[in-house]
Amino acid sequence: MNQPSGEELKACCAAAYSSDIVALLLGESYHPGGTALTRRLAVGLGLTPGARVLDVASGRGTTALLLADAYGTEVDGVDYAPANTALAQGAAQAAGLADRARFTTGDAEHLPYPEGVFDAVVCECALCTFPDKARAAAELARVLRPGGRLGITDVTIDPTRLPAELTGLGARIACIADARPLQDYTEILAGAGLLTLRTERHNQAMLRMIDQIEARLNLLRMTAPARLTAAGVDLDAAPAVLEAARAAVTDGVLGYALLIAERTLD
């Protein structure tokens, strides 16, 4: 079987993360730690009112709207899925934040912004899904002003110990199969001129999200099994995958991390 191309992988991830079933399973924030971890990320970035921020892989706008509302920043969100862009822009209008939060459809590996225009860039639970991580890192660095900061929260793995249940296309879309060890992320960023200032482990956030997904999946299994089947959720395989993910976190194979980096001065 031929491996999917980078463009096919991006399209597949975009379709998955713009589906209503994924929204039901993951909740408001599509990443472990939710808005509490986003706020911790914002503190690490030192955000101030009026700062220009880019949210890469902005999804339905949860992170971008939080940063615009709670920190008074000017936020641009970019996402590969047009459906997410439309939903995020609608959420901004409903929240009265359309003047400070704007959303665009675009590719993280080819960001549609000039060089050096953002004071900060955030990317939550998404670098792990980008097919060309080095290219994406170079783009994140390019749009940052010199001295600007990048904040990432993302899945980490030990690829030598990843169980079979957590490999393949489905696991890649679930942010696992192509995640990297934390050290690899820092090296990828360093190659783009981004110096890592701080890293934190938040593996318990991953365990809490697995528990939440399991609870929501069980509820949907009882109340809307046809929706799960139509969305391609394998109800027979799901329990084993969730248990494998939980065991992988406990064994230190799978985790979640926060990372703050800075674009080095030119």
pLDDT of residue 141: 98
Interval 159-214: pLDDT, tens: 888 887 776 544 544 556 678 999 999 999 999 999 999 999 999 998 998 888 88
pLDDT of residue 124: 94
Residue ranges of the chain whose pLDDT lies below 50: 1, 169-170, 172-173
The full set of domain ranges for the chain reads: 6-261
3-state secondary structure the chain: CCCCCHHHHHHHHHHHHCCHHHHHHHCCCCCCCHHHHHHHHHHHHCCCCCCEEEEECCCCCHHHHHHHHHHCCEEEEEECCHHHHHHHHHHHHHCCCCCCEEEEECECCECCCCCCCEEEEEEECCHHHCCCHHHHHHHHHHHEEEEEEEEEEEEEECHHHCCHHHCCHHHHHCCCCCCECHHHHHHHHHHCCEEEEEEEECHHHHHHHHHHHHHHHHHHHHHCHHHHHHCCCCCCCHHHHHHHHHHHHHCCCEEEEEEEEEECCC
Radius of gyration of the CA atoms of the chain, in A: 18
pLDDT of residue 166: 74
Look up residue 258 and give its two tokens: 């926060």
Class of domain 6-261: alpha beta
Q: How far apart are CA 168 and CA 6, in angstroms?
A: 14
pLDDT of residue 33: 87
Q: Global pTM?
A: 0.87
pLDDT of residue 13: 59
pLDDT of residue 121: 98
